[in-house]
Amino acid sequence: MIKLFKSWRKKANAPEAMATDLDNIPKHVAIIMDGNGRWARKLGLPRIVGHRNGMKAVKRATMAADELGISVLTLYAFSTENWKRPKEEVDYLMSLPQEFLALELEELIEKNVQVRMMGHTDELPSHTFAAMEEAMERTKQNTGLILNFALNYGSHREITETVRGIAEKVKTGDLSPEDITEQLLGSSLLSGDLPDPDLLIRTGGELRLSNFMLWQTAYSELWFTDLYWPEFGRAQLVEAVSEYQRRTRRYGGLS
Ligand code: FPP
């Protein structure tokens, strides 16, 4: 059934309104939010202003994902490689979850959103970890959109540590090598209880995955835009979802 995305049905002449099949919404959308720095440079502003405006785009993407009926939105907010950036920038990025949650947590709770984090989170600064923990605690019973922040996340490390954990179990005799299946490995990853992303979006014009959910995106549909992340909003999410709905997913089989 082809319908216009909820509130936009009323304003069908709006440029962002487009046909979206509400029966074929991707369950899990993952986003590589790239281009904050270049957006700022384009405007002659410091990089951290780009990140701050990136935070506003997080709000827009979250609200649009919720309205569309997406079940999980995973946002790549900080990679295991991002520690290489200047301290001032790292410190600023680590302050954003706190700032975002101070501004938005009440509305997220109202909208039944469940906040989560995924990554090597014990290495986050304590103020970042504490803010996320509080949000997770306060939203853990919520049954709406799962807003999953990838923080200090890196796929190679995730897979390596998961395999090490499985190897330990083999060593102690709790598992035998034959028990190691794709299902076991997938469900042992940090995202183990979530469906794999159906749609992966990357902003900022680069065409790469940058160590993000490499196992989980094996069959994700990829959508790239040259727009910088601070320019991302509901129109782009709908465009990506509409494009997703035009794809035929064959998983290596025949359509
Ligand atoms: C990549 O752009 C972006 C990041 C490393 C950080 C992304 C973080 C946000 C969008 C804000 C997160 C908000 C919350 C609430 C956690 P870049 O800086 O590499 O851009 P560039 O490639 O143009 O330099």
- Per residue in 17-74, pLDDT tens? 455 788 899 999 999 999 999 999 999 999 999 999 999 999 999 999 999 999 999 9
Both structure tokens of 82: 């991002």
The whole-model pTM stands at 0.93
Q: Looking at this protein, which amino acid is placed at residue 152?
A: N
In a domain, 162, yes or no: yes
Please give the Cα distance from 185 to 172 (Å, whole number): 18
Task: Provide the domain limits for residue 155.
Answer: 2-246
Does residue 252 belong to any structural domain of this protein?
no
**176 Cβ contact partners less than 8 Å away, ≥ 6 residues apart:** 170
Q: Can you give the CATH number for the domain in which 15 is found? A: 3.40.1180.10
Confidence check: pLDDT of 16 > 70: no
- Work out the mean pLDDT of the chain and round it to a whole number: 94
On whether residue 61 sits in a domain, the answer given is yes
Ligand 1 near 82 CB (within 6 A) = yes
Annotated binding site: 34-39, 47, 51, 79-81, 83, 85, 202, 208-210, 221
Q: Judge whether 60 lies within some domain.
A: yes
Our count of domains for the chain comes to 1
Handedness of CA 231, 234, 236, 241 (dihedral sign): positive
pLDDT tens-digit profile of 139-193? Answer: 999 999 999 999 999 999 999 999 999 999 999 999 999 999 999 999 999 999 9
Q: Is residue 254 part of a domain?
A: no
Please enumerate in sequence order all residues whose Cβ is within 8 A of that of 52, keeping only pairs 6 or more positions apart, or say none.
96
- Name which residue leads in pLDDT, 91 or 3: 91
Nearest atom within ligand 1 for CA of residue 206: 22
Pocket test for ligand 1, best of 42, 51, 73 (most atoms within 8 A of CB): 51
Ligand 1: centre distance to CA 106 (Å): 24
